[in-house]
Amino acid sequence: MADDTFYMKQALAEAEKASARGEVPVGAVVVCQGRIIARAHNLTETLNDVTAHAEMQAITAAENALGAKYLNDCALYVTVEPCVMCAGAIAWAQLGKLVFGTEDEKRGYMRYAPAALHPKTEVVQGILKDECAGLMKEFFRRRR
């Protein structure tokens, strides 16, 4: 639990970077055996790519770091509940654990594809939920 909070803070720092460059503030890190092997944030505006979600960036970076396509021994920390696309990617990569901060009632996978993840993937939600949700609320308030 203490570790989950620590790593979620790192994901939040990534989300703040996204916010600073005008991206929807979602950040992610991948942790493997106590070490952060990938840090990423949403880059859909910067890259003009709707698939450039924080989770997709983090998974690709982690796989490159390990030189492997499966991430069974890794945990993905992301500030907001993954969408269906990212949940699919998390399943393909066979992530051992998924930790997310706040749920996303509109686009989150739990509503549309609750069985999208691999059954062995451990899911923890609600870590630093208020901070994660707060960043999103503040971002969309400023954009209006």
Q: Which residues are annotated as a binding site?
A: 53, 83, 86
Active site residue 55: yes
Least separation in angstroms between residue 56's CB and Zn ion is: 7
CA distance 86 to 25: 16
Return the number of the residue (85 or 133) whose C-beta is nearest Zn ion.
85
CA atoms within 13 A on the CB side of 129: 7
Known binding-site residue numbers for Zn(2+)? 53, 83, 86
Kindly state the DSSP code that residue 69 receives in the 8-state scheme.
Answer: S
CB atoms within 10 A of CB 98: 24
Site membership for Zn ion, residue 86 (CB under 5 A)? yes
Query: Which listed residue (71, 83, 99, 128) binds Zn ion by CB under 5 A?
Result: 83
* Selected range binding Zn ion among 5-13, 16-24, 27-35, 81-89, rule: CB under 5 A: 81-89
CB atoms within 10 A of CB 113: 16
Chain positions 5 to 64 lying near Zn ion, rule: CB under 5 A, are 53
Q: Give the torsion through C-alpha atoms of 69, 54, 129, 87, to 10 deg.
A: -50
Query: Which residues form the catalytic set?
Result: 55
Interacting residue ranges for Zn ion, rule: CB under 5 A: 53, 83, 85-86
